[in-house]
Structure 1
Amino acid sequence: MDLFGKTCLHSFIEYIQIEKNYSEYTIQYYQEDIEHLFLFMNEQNLHSLKDVEYFDARLYLTQLFEKEYSRATLARKISSLRSFYKFLMREQIVDDNPFALLSQPKKHLRVPKFFYEEEMEKLFDVCSGTSEIDQRNKALLEILYATGIRVSECANITLKDIDLDFDTILVKGKGRKERIVIFGSFANEALKTYINESRQRLMNKAHDHPYLFVNYRGTPITVRGIRHILNTMIEKAALTGKMHPHMLRHTFATHLLNNGADLRTVQELLGHANLSSTQVYTHVTKEHLRKTYLSHHPRA
């Protein structure tokens, strides 16, 4: 791609990073999807973003189908390119959006993976020690399970965001949206122990900062650091498979619904803009009911 195309991509990345406040992973996917389009343009001798027409967009989608990408990946790529060209139109760089009329393939419904309650107990057992790291890990696990917040939201919690008297945390979510999440007595106790004892010992004057969770050096913990901590926990708990950080968010939602919470409340607690994002968990609970029935009904 020529220098002009690279400049357009750079401007778009700045736009979704600064104005849209997208996560680093979302930005990475957008960049990869647009760079993939650039490769296609080179193959088709399309020298400018203005040269791409609806016919080219259809051909590009056909090639993606032939390469047997999943429906979810196809839908994401189309969405990325549609947003990119919408931005180019806003900036008056192009006149039309060749991806606007492409129909997105319907996604297969993927039922979220979650932990059963007895599995959660095993995870809590592995961080029940009294060391600074154990107390930090327990507070981290309690908060993720008690609130269902995203790992990126957890990494950004500061001390002033927490109200231990009312058991609430002010969370900064996607698109700079703020919401209040609630936690219970177990998380409250773990937080108090961690903040008053372990965090102070892990911190030092050279690393003074307001962030709640810190690593062994006293610096703010990262999303990658949280993922490493959780995977270490699952290994120690001898649970099969690897833990994706989002599994605790899925577990939070699933356990609430299994115990009678209504969908709208769970939607608000998760910070979902649309109810459809939350409804996927109803399939989890139905599967749970089905398995329970088959396991316990005498004539199942």
Structure 2
Amino acid sequence: MLISSFLTYLQNEKRYSPHTIQSYKTDLIQFKDFLQANFELEVTVVQTQHVRSFIVDLLDHKISENAIGRKISTLRSFYKHLLREKEVKVNPMLLIKAPKVPKRLPVFIEEVKMDSLLDNAENFEDGFSGQRDKMVLELLFGTGVRLAELLQVKENDIDFYEGTIKVLGKRNKERIIPLHGELIKQLKAYLALKSIENFNNKSTTLIVTNTGASAYPKLIYRIVNRYLTLISTQDKKSPHVLRHSFASSLLNRGADLNAIKELLGHASLAATQVYTHNSVERLKSIYKQAHPKA
């Protein structure tokens, strides 16, 4: 009951996405099951040592530091909520520290490789599915939108007169992203092709399946993985890699970090600053190759 009430709070008050709420639910049920199996305790009588036992159990099961950090963050939010609601008197999370997570640089595809993929018409079939696939890649790389944001874009979210696209980001925050001229032309051509397809139920969602239904996450993952395999041997080939590629390309071309932050829809500049590390590594590589004393 307490978990359900907390999840409702996240949905109605915090306006978290369904995906985020599902993650919270999974973490909390796992914690509740652990308490029952090992201590026969309810979540309202938990003490710090019980949380530490939970973390040790996760480590024993080889759960990654990132995943453990997320679960600890979930529990912190949960017990802060219970404290406000007077369901607990003491917050058992106060002395809990998350394990240190090694910093990882964002994985991205070099701009020249993306150009070679997108500029070669032979990589894409002439029919609707091929042009839809190209549109997915162009939008992810050309705007830096998240997967969830791309799936929600409607046809009328595109303003051809202003040359912009409206997306709904995390916590239902809207933002406007400019579109470059070539992408605008490609969008018009894609929409014209979509309009003449004989779909039984024509969706107003911008990206659709071969039958005209709204696209879904696995479809986008398959599209991205399929085409990035043509130009990259790296293991990670996800929609988020193209978001990283968008940000890295802008930074390498001298874009202001605050502007990149707004385009990506980051809540704080700290989330955007991770891309500067890639830029520094690139400068080091150029220096080593070009400087006579390097």
- Name the TM-score, length of structure 2 as normaliser: 0.90
Deviations 1:162-184 (A, max 9, x none): 10121101110000111111110
Name the CA distance, whole Å, in 2 between partners of 1:141 and 1:173.
19
Q: 2:128 aligns with which of 129, 132, 142?
A: 132
What are the within-5 Å matches in structure 2 for residues 66-81 of structure 1? 66-81=60-75
8 Å contact kept, 1:135–1:190 = no
What are the within-5 Å matches in structure 2 for residues 100-119 of structure 1? 100-119=94-113
The reply to whether residue 185 of structure 1 matches residue 181 of structure 2 is yes
What are the within-5 Å matches in structure 2 for residues 211-230 of structure 1? 211-230=205-224
Instruction: Give 1:120 deviation, angstroms.
Output: 0.3
Name the CA distance, whole Å, in 2 between partners of 1:110 and 1:226.
24
Name the CA distance, whole Å, in 1 between partners of 2:105 and 2:58.
25
Comparing 127-136 and 63-72, the one that deviates more:
63-72
Comparing 101-110 and 166-175, the one that deviates more:
101-110
What are the within-5 Å matches in structure 2 for residues 80-95 of structure 1? 80-95=74-89
Residues 54/203 of structure 1: CA separation in 2 closer, same or farther (3 Å cut): farther
Aligned position for 1:3: none
Q: What residue identity is the alignment partner of 2:150?
A: C
Aligned position for 1:200: 195
**RMSD over aligned Cα atoms:** 2.1
5+ long unaligned stretches in structure 1: 1-6
8 Å contact kept, 1:173–1:271 = yes
Percent sequence identity is 37
What are the within-5 Å matches in structure 2 for residues 34-73 of structure 1? 34-73=28-67
8 Å contact kept, 1:202–1:215 = no
Aligned position for 1:146: 142
Comparing 45-54 and 253-262, the one that deviates more:
45-54
Q: What residue identity is the alignment partner of 1:200?
A: S
Name the CA distance, whole Å, in 1 between partners of 2:218 and 2:288.
39
Q: 1:275 aligns with which of 269, 273, 276?
A: 269
Instruction: Give 1:258 deviation, angstroms.
Output: 0.4
8 Å contact kept, 1:203–1:219 = no
Residues 259/18 of structure 1: CA separation in 2 closer, same or farther (3 Å cut): same
Instruction: Give 1:118 deviation, angstroms.
Output: 2.1
Aligned position for 1:261: 255
Q: Secondary structure at the match of 2:232?
A: coil
Name the CA distance, whole Å, in 1 between partners of 2:117 and 2:13.
38
The reply to whether residue 9 of structure 1 matches residue 40 of structure 2 is no
Aligned position for 1:155: 151
Name the CA distance, whole Å, in 2 between partners of 1:24 and 1:288.
37
- Name the TM-score, length of structure 1 as normaliser: 0.89
**Ranges of 4+ aligned residues in structure 1 off by more than 6 Å:** none
Q: What residue identity is the alignment partner of 1:225?
A: L
8 Å contact kept, 1:202–1:214 = no
Deviations 1:244-287 (A, max 9, x none): 11001000100100010111110011000110000000001111
Q: What residue identity is the alignment partner of 1:147?
A: T
Name the CA distance, whole Å, in 1 between partners of 2:198 and 2:2.
43
8 Å contact kept, 1:142–1:186 = no
Q: Secondary structure at the match of 1:217?
A: coil
8 Å contact kept, 2:45–2:88 = no
Comparing 159-168 and 9-18, the one that deviates more:
9-18
Q: Secondary structure at the match of 2:9?
A: helix
Aligned position for 1:210: 204
Instruction: Give 1:67 deviation, angstroms.
Output: 4.5
Deviations 1:114-145 (A, max 9, x none): 00022202331354543212222222221111
Aligned position for 2:232: 239
Name the CA distance, whole Å, in 2 between partners of 1:11 and 1:26.
15
Q: How many residues end up aligned between the 2 structures?
A: 291
Name the CA distance, whole Å, in 2 between partners of 1:120 and 1:238.
8
